Chain A
Amino acid sequence: MVKYVLQRIVYLIITLFVITSITFFLMKFLPGTPFQNEEKLTVEQKEILNEKYGLNKPLPVQYANYMTSVAKFDLGNSFQFDNQPVTGLLKNRIGPSLELGFQAMLVGTVIGIGLGLLAAMFQNTWIDYGSTFLAVLGKSIPSFVFAALLQYYIGVKLGWLPVAAWDGFSYSIMPTIALAIFPVATAARFMRTELIDVLSSDYITLAKAKGNSRMEVAFKHAIRNALIPLITVLGPMAVSLMTGSMVVEQIFAIPGIGEQFVKSITTNDFPIIMGTTIFFAVLLTVIILIVDILYGIIDPRIRLAGGSKK
């Protein structure tokens, strides 16, 4: 178990290393310039800037410098925002994104589990077909389409909820809903499959043979076993939440990391782009690692391997 965790951490570090290196080399070899209005600069001014940013040192030295600063959480300064450190900018923006993401994941998984449960317990009835259809819709309708529709019909037309910005709980309701439809679909489909599988196991029949009612069988035995593999779905769910957040934040004008990322791409603000990329990479790989470890802890078959007496 410990060995497994250590192994995964090593992979994490390797992956991050690869990503940051790629990021660095891309930045170096990009056509186009880090400086805005380069044409207006005189040669001397260019030299001063190059000196300042260390851009005239030999490549290996630049690389080493870059990697060390990243390790120190120094992601450089933004070109766009008057040299504010990227790390600072990111810190300000993390709040809304995390809150939104967390809410969406919570809402999504809870509703999804509920839908999947209903579908499995009433298999092949209209309840099943209905919830499966909802899950397909949730998977297929792009989050940006849904977000735009929500914004228009509920925000503008009906005026029930604020249309945009981030200033209190009610501002987060629509974005959360828009962001949550994909997790709902994923969780529902997964839960249904797992639960149907579990319900056909021998030990469920044994649970019935002990005199448990249908509800008791479902809640004391079946659901617990079906929920455990659900943890594996959380990793890909985090990825989809991240991509979804970019679009949802843009539509609802939420001051989060996703929104900033998209802006920085369109304005070619490389330090922010690189910094955010690295941030996302770190976040995702760490989440996936945590999920893996969590799974190993919760499933007793992995946690306590062996020890059987013959």
Chain B
Amino acid sequence: MKHSNDPISKDMFEIEPATTLDNEIIAKPQLSFAKDAWLRVRKNKAAIVSAVLLLLVIIMAFVGPSLSHFDPYQQDVTKTNLPPRIPGIEKLGILDGSQKIGGVEQNVYEQNNIKEYYWFGTDSLGRDLFSRVWVGTRVSLYIALLAAVIDMLIGVMYGLVSGFRGGKVDNVMQRVLEVISGIPNLIVVILMLLILKPGIISITIAMVITGWVGMARVVRGQVLKLKNQEYILASRTLGAKNNRLLFRHLLPNLSGVIIINTMFTIPSAIFFEAFLSFIGIGLQAPQASLGTLIEDGYKTFQFLPHLMIIPSIVICIILITTNLIGDGLRDAFDPKMRD
């Protein structure tokens, strides 16, 4: 123990009790739950980068097709199977429209005197890939939005009602849920696709039937847990009616679970549509979805890799970014990781 050995002056021993107990100052500024979560998401670099990238993709989905002046559906047999050619970058020697055909380096643009620049190239029917990719992305984004809306409307409501009411109502709703979830999603979708022609509508209906089950389950579980917690009891004791309980107390505490669950159903919904389109039972030609584009590209991968690689990259970006954002959100909402 270190203390000075100098003699201590007598006046140091006057009684002087502390006047203010100022070590009760709260160390950190008070933060609401949402703000706290937001601050922690901000620290997660991967999530932020992903959010920016995703935003870019979304913007391109809306703006892209008009940028390139080409009609995504217009076929032009004089301009089939062209590799990508981007003005400006072509000066660097890449993406200048050249390709190896039969081992020989050629430039079909120059050979056929094609003046237009197809930034992502064209497919076997002469359609511009750039605009098709972004139109396809719109489909994926629509699916994402649809999945989120279904989750929030049907899933949350179902889980709330089931968990909150409890008793017989809950029992019945649970049995129904179990049977629905016992039927693998894929089966329902396939059966759905048989009644209605494959296409965006049948996929939509299939998702409406099965897509909300996961959310309903999670919400119900959370409601059951919260229902019995003491602050609900306290609120009730103070005379709060059911509605008030529901909206002021339960819903904010469910928001974390809801957001996280939604963030994870989005990538799986997008994947699902792409998957169905790829095997041919989703969207059909000539509609453009990232899945159909990848499938088309797969057929000619050896010769025209860009047709498959470019839409693959776009869908991978969408899936990776939504997953990383979901991870970031989940970590942010987890109170155990507070500093």
Contacts and interface: CB of A to CB of B under 8 A. Distances in A.
* Complex contact flag A–B (Cβ < 8 Å): yes
A288 B324 CA distance: 29
Interface residues of B, number: 35
B67 interface: no
A265 B190 contact: yes
A114 B327 CA distance: 21
B208 interface: no
A144 B305 CA distance: 15
B301 interface: yes
A277 B183 CA distance: 10
A144 B194 contact: no
Interface stretch (B17-25, B80-88, B94-102, B274-282): B274-282
B294 A145 contact: yes
A150 to B, nearest CB: 12
A26 B192 CA distance: 9
Contact of A11 (B179, B187, B190): B179
B182 A280 contact: no
B186 A280 contact: yes
B320 A137 contact: yes
Interface in A229-260: 239, 242-243, 246-247, 250-251
Interface string A1-40: 0000000000110110011001100100110000000000
Contacts of B187: 19, 277, 280-281
A242 B275 CA distance: 12
B158 interface: no
B208 to A, nearest CB: 16
Given A144-B278, A145-B312, A246-B279, A15 B179 contact: yes
Chain A, interface SS category: helix
Contacts, number: 101
A137 B298 CA distance: 21
B143 interface: no
Given A11-B178, A280-B186, A250 B279 contact: yes
B179 A140 contact: no
A14 B187 CA distance: 16
Given A141-B316, A145-B312, A266 B183 contact: no
B191 A277 contact: yes
A62 interface: no
Nearest to A23: B191
A11 B182 contact: yes
Contacts of A145: 294, 312, 315-316
Given A152-B301, A281-B187, A26 B194 contact: yes
Contact of A266 (B179, B280, B305): B280
Interface residues of A, number: 40
B332 interface: no
A161 interface: no
A94 interface: no
Nearest to B324: A136
A18 B183 contact: yes
Contact of A22 (B185, B191, B281): B191
Contacts of B279: 246-247, 250, 262
Contacts of B315: 142, 145
B276 to A, nearest CB: 9
Contact of B194 (A30, A139, A239): A30
A281 B324 contact: no
A15 B182 CA distance: 6
B290 to A, nearest CB: 9
B186 A15 contact: no
Contacts of B190: 265, 273, 277
Contacts of A266: 280-281
B5 interface: no
The CB with the most chain B CB atoms within 10 A, among A19, A142, A148, A280, is that of: A142
Nearest to B305: A152
B184 interface: yes
Contacts of B323: 136, 139-140
A38 B64 CA distance: 46
A87 interface: no
Nearest to A265: B281
A103 interface: no
Residue in B274, B279, B319 whose Cβ sees the most chain A Cβ within 10 Å: B279
Contacts of A18: 179, 183
Contacts of A156: 302
| A26, A145, A156 pick with most chain B CB within 10 angstroms | A145
Given A11-B179, A140-B267, A148 B184 contact: no
B120 interface: no
A144 B302 contact: no
24 contacts: A15-B182, A18-B179, A19-B183, A136-B323, A136-B324, A136-B327, A140-B319, A141-B319, A142-B294, A142-B312, A142-B316, A144-B275, A156-B302, A242-B186, A243-B186, A250-B279, A265-B194, A265-B281, A266-B280, A266-B281, A277-B191, A281-B183, A281-B184, A284-B184
Given A15-B182, A22-B191, A140-B267, 6 more contacts: A23-B191, A142-B278, A142-B316, A148-B301, A152-B305, A265-B193
Interface of A: 11-12, 14-15, 18-19, 22-23, 26, 29-30, 136-137, 139-142, 144-145, 148-149, 152, 156, 239, 242-243, 246-247, 250-251, 262, 265-266, 273, 277, 280-281, 284-285, 288
Interface of B: 178-179, 182-187, 190-191, 193-195, 267, 271, 274-275, 278-281, 294, 298, 301-302, 305, 308, 312, 315-316, 319-320, 323-324, 327
